[in-house]
Amino acid sequence: MKPLSKANNLLLRWTQSEYLVLGLTILLVLAVAPFTPELISTGNLRNILSYMLPLFIIATGMTLVMITGGIDLSVTSIIALTSVIGARLMSHDGGGLPSSGAVLVMLTLGASVGALNGAAITMLQLPAFIVTLASMMFVSGFAVWLTQSKNIYGLPESFLALGQRLPIALALTAALALAAHLILHRTVAGRWLYAVGINPTAAHISGAPVRTITVSAYVASGFCAALASVLLTGRLETASPVLGRELLLDIIGATALGGTSLFGGRGKIAWTLFGVLFLTVLDNALNLLNLSQFSITLTKGLVILLAAVLDALRVRFHIHTPA
């Protein structure tokens, strides 16, 4: 292979910058703000933050899964199922369970679905894409059957506060992100996650519990999806069997856009935060410009495709930012 020219090498190094996506977000705001001044208004910035918090929570779990070289397509179905299960438990027909108890059930259920996904992938040696796709279809269908496609209203105020009071949602999100960051960069389990994603065979030979680590990543992903469901359900004041269905593209796209590799072995929580921020601001800006939903989806799809191309370039030229 010919050595890279100085310009090409500089371009490749630029794509490796940890702050590339954050810089692009700032450029996006500077480019769009003159045409839509409301983009940087206090009310709109609050809306952006409210929208991105649940998305960041789910993307945090997705980051852990993608670092292992996997993917979890079932997260949006977990959101829907935990939403309706929690709401039914809190309703009078379900016994009027306190909000704290319902939230605990929701989180446990999400983690359990993740555990089943991880167990099927590791024990049956099946591709993560197929397992989580099947899980998505089954869980989504079960949520619809359970509610007969009807939303559930009348949730208690103590539960709604979790999604509607921004300081509470922000504190929960920050605590989760900090915990995930510390696990990745301050524990042996974090080093094992990266090792499994880089080369599971070598990781196994070196003593890493590959199956346990892989299952744990999917448990974390299910837990994060359930926590996001708590915030989304509380914010919208209703539980729905199709809640979060439209978020899957944003979840995977934001994670990949931030720099977490689709091939495994590379990723950071901070990168995912930058990816979520960029995609949220982009979506908000395009809506403020009154573009059609088709145009918005097309633009976001192109951005995510570009992120995948950049990831492929990183792998091809073996240029890795240290984890």
Whole-angstrom distance, CA of residue 205 vs CA of residue 106: 37
Token pair of 200, please?
């599971």
> Helix or strand or coil: residue 41?
coil
What type of residue is 230? V
Whole-angstrom distance, CA of residue 250 vs CA of residue 12: 25
Flag the least confident range among 87-101, 165-179, 202-216.
87-101
- Could you tell me the pLDDT band of residue 310, with boundaries at 50, 70 and 90? confident
Higher pLDDT, 19 or 41: 41
How does DSSP assign 45-84, residue by residue? HHHHHHHHHHHHHHHHHHHHHHHTT---TTHHHHHHHHHH
Mean pLDDT of 306-315: 74
DSSP label at residue 19? T
CATH architecture type of domain 12-317: Orthogonal Bundle (1.10)
The pLDDT value given to residue 95? 64
Q: CB-hemisphere CA count at 13 Å for 219?
A: 11
Q: CB-hemisphere CA count at 13 Å for 93?
A: 10
251 has a pLDDT exceeding 90: yes
The pLDDT value given to residue 181? 96
Angle formed by the axes of helices 269-288 and 293-317, to 10°?
150
Whole-angstrom distance, CA of residue 239 vs CA of residue 94: 14
190 has a pLDDT exceeding 80: yes
Whole-angstrom distance, CA of residue 169 vs CA of residue 166: 5
| Residue recorded with tokens 């409301």 | 38
The pLDDT value given to residue 4? 52
Flag the least confident range among 93-102, 189-198, 228-237, 248-257.
93-102
Q: What is the dihedral of CA 305, 307, 313, 315, to 10 degrees?
A: -110
230 has a pLDDT exceeding 90: yes
pLDDT in tens, 126-165: 999 999 999 999 999 999 999 888 899 889 999 999 999 9
Q: What is the torsional sign of CA 83, 245, 161, 100?
A: positive
Token pair of 35, please?
């045409």
pLDDT in tens, 203-221: 999 999 999 999 999 999 9
**pTM (predicted TM-score):** 0.91
Mean pLDDT of 216-240: 96
322 has a pLDDT exceeding 50: no
Token pair of 260, please?
């977490």
Mean pLDDT of 119-124: 95
